[in-house]
Amino acid sequence: MRSGSDPVLLALGDEEVHQSDFERYVASVQTRGGGAPLTPEVRRALLEPFLEERVLVLEARQRGLARAGDGEEKETESVRRLLAQAVLSRVSLTDDEVDAYCRDHARDFDSPERVKLRQILVPTPNEARDVVRRLKKDPKSFALLAQTRSRAPEASTGGMMGVFARGELPAELDNAAFALAAGETSDVVQSPLGYHVLRVEEKVPAREAGLPECRPAARQELLRRKSDSGVREFVRDLMARAKVNHEAVNRPLPS
């Protein structure tokens, strides 16, 4: 392969990638990063994935899915079509594989205990204690008190925070919320945000997933893994078929 002022870095059939193509790519990365020049180490780290991306475009051109001069959007679409034809259409998955994955990863698909939670958030302990007193007299007034007293973002919706599993709330609120039964209201709970009064509207117990619940998610995960593996193997095969100008690729790149 020639070694002129713009050497060929990669060739597949009649299609080529030149040093100038890589320099344009580096310039675009620099622009996205604020314009600071990239170090030689970063440039070298960018080169291999750049060539792997370009070899897919060259193969798309070989198959008539793309043309030289196509813009980035058209090239991306042509590579998507190439991978769909050459790799993804060949990915298969049996029910036995799905069921085996479910058995090996059963706990990954379990449903954790969850609570549907409301809160009233006020800035002082006296206000919070007053809220608790009012709720003891009239437990059904929680939503109205949230709308009129709470400083939290969800005050306008009656204090409805949403549904949470263990560990998704700040520790102070998490411990208090999961100690309550459905329909119960907490005492005052202090956090860095202020003073909270919580109400559990609904409590959903933890549930172990059986095969019917596991299969859809397991199938999706296995298809993703097989597709990713197939794409990596396809790129390796293309790079093995392509001609790589190792002298140009391995020499120090200009900074």
Write out pLDDT tens, residues 41-70: 998 899 999 999 999 999 999 999 999 999
Q: Count of domains in the chain?
A: 3
With bands split at pLDDT 50, 70 and 90, how would you rate the model's confidence at 74? very high
User: Is residue 155 domain-shared with residue 232, that is, in the same domain?
Assistant: no
Residue 255 inside a domain? The answer is: no
Query: Residue 21 — left, alpha, or beta (φ > 0 → left; ψ -120 to 50 → alpha)?
Result: alpha
Q: Strand 243-244 and strand 8-12: pairing?
A: antiparallel
Flag whether pLDDT at 152 surpasses 60.
Answer: yes
Flag whether pLDDT at 209 surpasses 90.
Answer: no
Under DSSP, is residue 118 helix (H, G, I), strand (E, B) or coil?
Answer: strand
Provide the CATH number for the domain around residue 135.
3.10.50.40
Residue 136 inside a domain? The answer is: yes
> Residue 2 has what pLDDT?
47
Flag whether pLDDT at 117 surpasses 70.
Answer: yes
**Mean pLDDT on 112-138:** 97
Residue 2 inside a domain? The answer is: no
User: Is residue 74 domain-shared with residue 23, that is, in the same domain?
Assistant: yes
Rounded CA-CA distance 58/65 in Å is 10
Residue 1 inside a domain? The answer is: no
> Residue 255 has what pLDDT?
47
> Residue 4 has what pLDDT?
59
User: Is residue 127 domain-shared with residue 87, that is, in the same domain?
Assistant: no
User: Is residue 73 domain-shared with residue 131, that is, in the same domain?
Assistant: no
Write out pLDDT tens, residues 176-197: 999 999 999 999 999 999 999 9
- Residues with Cβ within 8 Å of 155's Cβ and at least 6 positions away in sequence, in order, are 120, 121, 146, 147, 149
- The domain in which residue 190 lies consists of 111-204
User: Is residue 59 domain-shared with residue 99, that is, in the same domain?
Assistant: no
Rounded CA-CA distance 224/227 in Å is 5
Flag whether pLDDT at 252 surpasses 80.
Answer: no
Rounded CA-CA distance 213/45 in Å is 42
With bands split at pLDDT 50, 70 and 90, how would you rate the model's confidence at 249? low
Residue 16 inside a domain? The answer is: yes
Residue 51 inside a domain? The answer is: yes
User: Is residue 35 domain-shared with residue 87, that is, in the same domain?
Assistant: yes
Alpha helices in 87-210 (DSSP H): 95-104, 125-137, 142-149, 171-178
With bands split at pLDDT 50, 70 and 90, how would you rate the model's confidence at 250? low
